[in-house]
Structure 1
Amino acid sequence: MNWNDSPEQARFRTAVREVINTRLPLRYKLAAESGGPGERAWENDRKSADPAARQAAVEWHAALSEKGWVAPHWPKEHGGGGMSAMEQFVLNQELATAGAPAVGGSGVGLLGPTLILHGNEDQRKKYLPPILAGEATWAQGYSEPGAGSDLASLQTRATRDGDDFILNGQKIWTSAAHTADAIFALVRTDPTAPKHRGISFLLIDDIRAPGISIRPLVDLNGRHYFNEVFFEDVRVPAANLVGEENRGWYVAMTLLDFERSNIGGAIGAKRTLKRLLKVVAGDAVLRERLTHSVLRHEIAQRYIEAEVMYQFSMRISSMQNRGQLPNDEASMAKLFNSELSQRVAQTAMQVMGLRGQVTEDDGEASFGRHYLGMVPATIRGGTSEVQRNVIATRGAGLPRG
């Protein structure tokens, strides 16, 4: 199949590359070269104690904002880019290739589309502009200790008290809660209803309001990105209810049809492999190890798999560009990508040998950090087991077990 750019796409790709080449802060370019956490960099830098980090976040947000690329999937009437699926694909492909971080976090990716589709006019006027301006970032309060893959089993309670809801409960694995300004959450408002019913979608304007406590969850790399969030008698105005009370599950599950090809996964795998080969090329010992090693075939296989992932991404984008909604196709791409990321990390560690355990912050150490970072890849964003169930039931038409 011909995946070449159309003339319009080629012009847009050139424009994106120009912005990246001229406006991407050096901080992010260097992080990309060393395998740093580019996708999380903007959120971390936005409230960093380091003035240079904060300045980089401001400059990069401004560069994307000037082009209308902060929220490419939002309609133009709400301040977004109003881009087609293929335009979003090109933008995300070029950002991923450069290791450039996205901006806006969950506010842009999740809350904005939810408010555009289900919020009222007052909510859209109040919350959308600060998200686009980078003035307010939002954390996502979905998962709980007993409600991860089975999210509908959540138990955080919101009890109506006059014009307020009173929240009590706990959320876990809350990304960037410690740097966020606010949090949106799914809460149970009718404990007697079936589990998919009786859930509501609430906006908590201030994540540091009385009764909210945030506790860090440090990952295998010693990094703090995830958190536990506890609610103890937290008052939330009833006006912050998005959609109908007790219908929050359907609010959360019906986002706008924005680009979801996961092109970053294919690009990320290739970038990791290229960094690995660059290290090998500059080291005589590693070159000798690979000369007659089965690892040469492992690396070649990973490259092939990365190309397969790229084809998954192109297929999904082409479907969306035709107005189709990928379902089991998106699950196949997510499943393949998460398991590919683990295989790439494993191959890199086999090539590096004991040197992969180096913890200093240099180019070689990034492979060890990458390996540890990929451990939860088949869990986050929907476990591999859940994805296989979706593929079986919606794709292959098999009965539910």
Structure 2
Amino acid sequence: MPLEPIVQFGGGPEVEELRSRIRGWLVDHLPDEFRRTAANPDYLPREGHERAVEFCRALHAQGWFVPHWPARFEGGGLDVVRQVVIREELAYAGAPMVNTNGVNMLAPVLFRFGTTAQQDEHLPKIARSERMWAQGYSEPEAGSDLAALRMTARRDGDHYVLDGQKTWTSNGVLADWIFVLARTSPVGTKRQAGISFFLVDLETPGITRRPIRSMTGYPTFAEEFFDGVRVPEENLVGEEGEGWKVAKALLDAERSNVTRAAQAQRYLDELVDWCKAQRGAKHDPLADPLNRMALARAVERVEVGRALSYRVAHQQASGTLDPALPSLSKLYHSQLTAELRQLGARILGPLGALLPDDPDAVLDGHFSEGLLLSLLHTIGGGTSEIQRDLISTTGLGLPR
């Protein structure tokens, strides 16, 4: 069934016409292979990634890949309502949005902190899906506690020399460039001070990259070793020692979760449609009142998640973002994703354990594979425990 939100973000006939136009275009242009991988659009093998890039370039030609960017950087200059509608429809359909690190994370940082030269060099290439980005934050001893990072960046003339290691790097296998945090001065009384934000070409001498295979079998993560890597000073984003401020702005931009809210609706709709199709069967899941109650509860949870993501998007667009709200949205959707996958696996029974490559898999294995991936969402981008800490301190004003 199509995406039909109970909670509406805004707009009128023109916005709904845009929604209808996107749906029609997707019918003609979105390959079935991506509809089948809707539960996992960001984790694709290399050949699938290349086809996804082709799709995103076609999407860009329609003005829908970076619709909110200024025209100067090949964006559509659309308002936040239209941006949300586009992102919802693409996510619900399972459209493979490649380079999310570049589009959703790095680009907002470059708009805010980047130099004109950095913007001109990188933003058009991101818009055209010509330059893929990885996020280089986590280290073996600095994941959730990011301020504990040990990578160093030493000034040497007009370059910085980077030494250290990054791990669990999102999109690390397929990326061309990586943005990293590195320490440019020793740890002081405030650990967040003295950290800087750099843009690094992954072909730079001194970088060794190794893939990390996840439990789903996809080697989309990687670890990188930096040994005397020389990075031009013009690749420093923001001022030296102010990388923590840049990093926080990046995470705020990452966590509106409009896309994840639409994906959650997709998972729920698939499950409800499957249950309806079993009516009258020997094992009718809707004959069990506990299943009906659980599905009704899931409808409520999905709508709350969508409303929460709308609120974050609105505040981001208006420049009035509550600093605790992105963490609240991230935490909520991490839990919601796990809840939906667990519910689906329970209702499907033994069929819910079959992975997508099994010929007997139902619903393309979304719930079995998704259940594995849901564990990643509670860790990646900041663990759920860290989000609770940020909500309590920045939102409720509780002491650390």
Q: In which range does the TM-score fall when normalised by the shorter chain?
A: 0.7 to 0.9
Q: Is residue 194 of structure 2 the alignment partner of residue 202 of structure 1?
A: no
Aligned to 1:366: 366
Equivalent residue in structure 2 for 1:24, among 13, 22, 30:
30
Contact 2:41 2:96 in 1 (8 A): yes
Contact 2:162–2:231 at 8 Å: present in 1 too? Answer: yes
Residue aligning to 1:141: 136
Residue 399 (structure 2) aligns with: 400
Whether 1:330 aligns to 2:326 is yes
> Structure 2: which 5+ residue stretches go unaligned?
1-6
Shift of 1:292: 3.0
Aligned partner of 1:395: which letter?
G
Is the contact made by 1:104 and 1:132 (CA closer than 8 Å) also made in structure 2? no
Instruction: Return closer, same or farther for 1:174/1:259 CA change in 2, 3 Å cut-off.
Output: closer
Sort the Cα spacing of 1:15 and 1:293 in 2 relative to 1 into closer, same or farther, 3 A.
closer
CA distance in 2 between partners of 1:55 and 1:220 (Å): 23
Once the two structures are superposed, residues 287-306 of structure 1 have per-residue CA deviations (whole angstroms, 9 ceiling, x without a partner) of 33552352332222112211
Q: Name the counterpart of 1:248.
A: 243
Distance of 2:335 and 2:251 partners within structure 1: 27
Shift of 1:133: 1.7
Counterpart of 1:38? Answer: 41
Aligned partner letter, 2:161: I
Query: Which residue among 6, 27, 39 is the counterpart of 2:12?
Result: 6
Give the match for residue 122 of structure 1. Answer: 117
CA–CA separation in structure 1 for the residues paired with 2:345 and 2:261:
19
Consecutive unaligned residues in structure 1, runs of 5 or more: none
3-state SS of 1:107 partner: helix
SS of equivalent to 2:37: helix
Q: Match of 2:148?
A: 153
How has the CA–CA distance of structure 1 residues 315 and 112 changed in structure 2, closer, same or farther, with 3 Å as cutoff? closer
Worse-matched range after superposition: 177-186 or 344-353? 344-353
Q: Which amino acid in 1 is paired with 2:375?
A: V
* TM score, norm. by length of structure 2: 0.87
Q: Structure 1: which amino acid aligns with 2:21?
A: A
Q: 1:257 to 1:200 in 2, by over 3 A?
A: closer
Q: 2:353 aligns with which of 353, 357, 360?
A: 357
**Helix, strand or coil at the partner of 2:210:** strand
Aligned to 1:214, what secondary structure does the other structure show? strand
Cα RMSD over matched residues? 2.6
User: Which residues of 2 match residues 213-228 of structure 1 at below 5 A?
Assistant: 213-228=208-223
Whichever residue aligns with residue 377 of structure 1, its letter is: H
Q: Aligned in 2, Cα 1:256/1:118: closer, same or farther, shift over 3 Å? A: farther
- The amino acid that maps onto 2:13 is P
Instruction: Output one character per residue of 1:231-272: Cα deviation in whole Å (capped at 9) or x when no partner.
Output: 112222222222222222222323598685312222222222
Q: Deviations 1:157-206 (Å, cap 9, x if unpaired)? A: 1112223222111111101111111111111111244421111111112x
Q: How is 1:2-401 mapped onto 2 (pairs within 5 angstroms)? A: 3=9, 5-32=11-38, 35=39, 37-41=40-44, 44=45, 47-48=46-47, 54-58=50-54, 60-193=55-188, 194-205=190-201, 207-255=202-250, 261-283=256-278, 287-288=283-284, 290-320=286-316, 322-359=318-355, 361=357, 362-363=361-362, 365-396=365-396, 398-401=397-400
Superposition deviation, residue 84 in structure 1: 2.0
Checking the alignment, whether the CA contact within 8 Å between 1:73 and 1:82 is kept in structure 2 is yes
Kept in 2: contact 1:25–1:56 (CA 8 A):
no
Give the share of equivalent positions with the same residue, in percent. Answer: 39
What is the rounded CA distance, in whole Å, between the counterparts of 2:322 and 2:79 in structure 1?
15
For residue 4 of structure 2, what is the aligned residue in structure 1? none
Shift of 1:280: 3.7
**TM-score between both structures, scaled by the size of structure 1:** 0.87
Q: CA deviation at 1:83?
A: 2.6
How many residue pairs end up in the alignment? 388
Cα gap change, 1:184 to 1:330, in 2 (>3 Å): closer
Secondary structure, in 3 states, of the residue corresponding to 2:168? coil
1:342: Cα distance to partner? 1.0
C-alpha deviation, 1:321, in angstroms: 5.2
- Matching residue's letter, 2:18: F
Distance 1:310 1:290 in 2: 25
**What SS does structure 2 have at the residue aligned with 1:333?**
helix
Per-residue deviation at 1:100? 1.1
One-letter amino acid matched to 2:219? H
Moved over 4 A (4+): 1-4, 255-260, 281-286, 320-323
